[in-house]
Chain A
């Protein structure tokens, strides 16, 4: 059984649709039109949740995938938009992070997953062409947005 931590979030149709899959839901992200919903899931449920969003709710627009290195975890936030923005958040272990690719569900995710791969080293299983998006050829350093990398 899931636990929605905010009363107003429980009435949200997205939360209702993802009830069996998510860990928590709260409107946490500030935004001028109205604070946005963040739904936390275990990483195993990501593909199922995205499938629910597409099939049941008709969500099509994935804005981007934000990666954040918060040792020892690595967080991925999938920002969607349908009349309002909302976010799916998953946590991966910092060492050798792996996640399932959603490119077959949402082809628009292809470049965003490649960027997260290059910047954070997250391997997306099932991505058709997983190479870093923005890094120079032959980049052998650590992924640039990881915390252990120091610039300058």
Chain B
């Protein structure tokens, strides 16, 4: 029974659904403030989701129908499964040694599904967007993975709960490895395909990238997956770099966790508002010439300090 509540309500699907919509709202509101606008009301993300569910679901001729239906579901499933292992305010669905690796693996599946969505589509924009998303994947994933393993090396464990505990004894990983945190944040921007790294779905270039031909329920699931991925990515960073929900021992866990998450979300929104979109060749340049070497330096430094 306890497991079912953890799975379906908190910190599982129900909570994740609400958090996805809430984080989307905060993000849009924050960017709007940077623009000098007001921003959408609190129910806007929910309204968008419901509206999309009600729209006509068209699959263009030539697109692989079964794959088009399966890919958003596979993507969502991977994200939901990953959520089982990420602690929220100290509460986690399941935890074992090595669950960090499982989470990282599961969180790469949506990127693959996104590329395949472009691959199976017929329009030129989708194919080009899929091509770009794969190039982008190769540029951010390596620095991201390397940056995210640093807290694990420091804690001496591949379990997220263990990493949190170890930070309680020493200090936040972000303070000990600030470079690693920055790299992980940049990697997260690439993973979530947010501005300035929304290259695969750049509206003025490829219209909507791999998802150009999706509509209705399928598109609603895609958007939900991306929002949930945002939430989980942020939660992961909070757990790995900011000690989860520990602040001082007497402060309640969940609000602290929420505040840290929102702080990282605001950092992401600021990055979106401040920078123009990169070109794919500029991103590959950045990823391999700057980010990956820096991540390598961070790992070596961590090994040297830790060992």
Q: Do chains A and B touch in the complex (CB under 8 A)?
A: no
